[in-house]
């Protein structure tokens, strides 16, 4: 498998959204991720990126993304450098063009997390426009593509053929902070391309970007999958095979922080518990990208219960990102 990495033709490609990659290209990535995962578990060497350097610029905090990327590049034989904008000359106004050009002269890829609404994707795109090495999204305000790669690999591992499965993506109430909309947006974009029927449930103020919802509809039409939006929490669970209940902010509705928190607090019953889980098919699995707000987004009984796949999902961040780095770097 590793000898087919070069011929995949993905070296140098940016990864800002799954939408930029064809289904065939994503299939190549999932095959390689599965191989890397199996080889790691078998104790086989996977040093595909010896002497290669990945720069990781984090405008926002992270547990899974930082550690899975940094561990991944280590396991591939390369080196990851954690960069915080407040310790870079970005803090003194150095622009995306200069940052992109300079880092391109040193290493083999630039990964960025920048979730500020209305800024993050523009910054990643600007770096990608000027970098001569691949730019990999570690989450922006619009997309979290690596999370959705891990989610899909997890679903495929649990169910095999994913065509015709029902995935419920449900908003949940977690007023401790206003979360980005990038996870639900990336889910509704990619899952229908693999034949998965998606039901997206949110209170009216938590709608997603209209162009993303429109693209998700188009993706579903093209693959023959179903995509529906509902304002009823239970619709995401009924007869579902997979459910991903998670919080996001009413950012399309309002940019006002206090108003956002007030709206999140207005729907406390949008919380996943055992009764909701009973609405799904017997084999339904619970997923969440983490961190989860235990008690408000989901009960401990569910997230720690037999239907929960959250740690498999978190682990798969490592394997899909190793494949992503191996293919693009
Ligand atoms: N799911 C996820 O991206 O986790 P972190 O914010 O911890 O990176």
- Pick the closest to residue 81 from 116, 115, 109, 49 (CA basis): 109
State pLDDT tens for residues 78-130: 999 999 999 999 999 999 999 999 999 999 999 999 999 999 999 999 999 99
pLDDT of the residue at 228: 98
- Cα separation, 33 vs 151, in Å, equals 13
C-alpha of residue 221 to centroid of ligand 1, in Å: 31
Backbone angles phi, psi at 57, to 5 degrees: -100, 115
Q: Is the CB–ligand 1 distance for residue 147 below 6 Å? A: yes
- pTM above threshold 0.85: yes
State residue 1's pLDDT score: 65
Is the C-beta atom of 65 inside 6 A of ligand 1?
Answer: yes
What is the distance of C-alpha 172 from the center of its chain?
A: 17
pLDDT digits (tens, 9 = 90+) for 276-305: 999 999 999 999 999 999 999 999 999 999
Q: If you take atom 6 of ligand 1, which residue's CA is the nearest one?
A: 62
Question: How many angstroms separate the alpha carbon of residue 224 from the centre of ligand 1?
Answer: 31
**Given this structure, which CATH class describes domain 147-313?**
alpha beta
Q: Ligand 1 within 6 A of 67 CB? A: no
How high is the pLDDT of residue 108?
98
Task: Report which of 73, 37, 27, 70 is spatially closest to residue 52, judged by C-alpha positions.
Answer: 73
**63: Cβ below 6 Å to ligand 1?**
yes
Residues 6+ apart with CB under 8 A from 11: 327, 328, 329
The tens-digit pLDDT sequence of the chain (329 residues) is 688 899 999 999 999 999 999 999 999 999 999 999 999 999 999 999 999 999 999 999 999 999 999 999 999 999 999 999 999 999 999 999 999 999 999 999 999 999 999 999 999 999 999 999 999 999 999 999 999 999 999 999 999 999 999 999 999 999 899 999 999 999 999 999 999 999 999 999 999 999 999 999 999 999 999 999 999 999 999 999 999 999 999 999 999 999 999 999 999 999 999 999 999 999 999 999 999 999 999 999 999 999 999 999 999 999 999 999 999 99
* Ligand 1 binding pocket includes 19 (Cβ within 6 Å): no
Candidate CATH numbers 3.40.50.1370, 3.40.50.300, 3.40.1190.20, 3.30.470.20; the one for domain 2-144+317-328 = 3.40.50.1370
- Residue 240's φ and ψ, nearest 5 degrees, are -80, 155
Do 147-313 and 2-144+317-328 have the same topology in CATH?
yes
Ligand 1 proximity of 179 Cβ (cutoff 6 Å): no
Using CA positions, which residue lies closest to atom 3 of ligand 1?
Answer: 65
Tokens of 35: 């191989």
Asked whether the beta carbons of 55 and 79 are under 8 A apart, the reply is no
Mutational test site, ligand 1, from 57, 65, 68, max ligand atoms within 8 Å of CB: 65
Q: For residue 111, what are the β-bridge partners?
A: 56, 136
Query: Residue ranges per domain, the chain?
Result: 2-144+317-328, 147-313
């Amino acid at each position: 498998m590793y000898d087919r990495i070069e011929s995949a033709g993905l070296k140098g490609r940016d990864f800002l959204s799954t939408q930029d990659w064809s289904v065939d290209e994503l299939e190549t990535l999932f095959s390689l991720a599965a191989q890397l995962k199996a080889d790691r578990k078998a104790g086989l060497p996977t040093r595909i990126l010896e002497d290669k350097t990945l720069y990781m610029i984090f405008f926002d905090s992270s547990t899974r993304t930082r550690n899975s990327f940094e561990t991944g590049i280590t396991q591939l034989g390369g080196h990851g450098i954690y960069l915080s904008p407040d310790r870079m000359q970005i803090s003194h106004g150095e622009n995306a063009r200069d940052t992109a050009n300079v880092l391109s002269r040193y290493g083999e890829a630039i990964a960025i997390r920048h979730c500020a609404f209305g800024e993050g994707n523009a910054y990643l795109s600007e770096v990608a426009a000027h970098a001569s090495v691949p730019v990999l999204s570690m989450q922006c305000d619009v997309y979290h593509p690596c999370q959705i790669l891990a989610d899909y690999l997890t679903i495929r591992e649990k169910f095999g053929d994913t065509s015709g499965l029902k995935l419920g993506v449900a908003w949940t109430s977690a007023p401790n902070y206003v979360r980005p909309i990038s996870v639900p947006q990336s889910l509704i974009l990619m899952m229908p391309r693999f034949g998965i029927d998606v039901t997206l449930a949110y209170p009216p103020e938590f709608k997603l970007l209209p162009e993303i919802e429109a693209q998700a509809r188009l993706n579903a039409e093209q693959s023959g999958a179903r995509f529906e939006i509902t304002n009823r929490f239970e619709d995401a669970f009924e007869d579902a095979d997979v459910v991903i209940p998670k919080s996001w902010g009413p950012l399309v509705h309002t940019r006002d922080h206090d108003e956002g928190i007030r709206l999140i607090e207005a729907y406390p019953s949008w919380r996943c518990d055992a009764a909701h889980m009973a609405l799904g098919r017997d084999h339904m699995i619970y997923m969440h990208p983490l961190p989860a707000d235990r008690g408000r987004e989901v009960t401990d009984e569910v997230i720690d219960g037999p239907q929960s796949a959250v740690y498999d999902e978190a682990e798969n961040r490592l394997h899909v990102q190793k494949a992503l780095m191996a293919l693009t770097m």
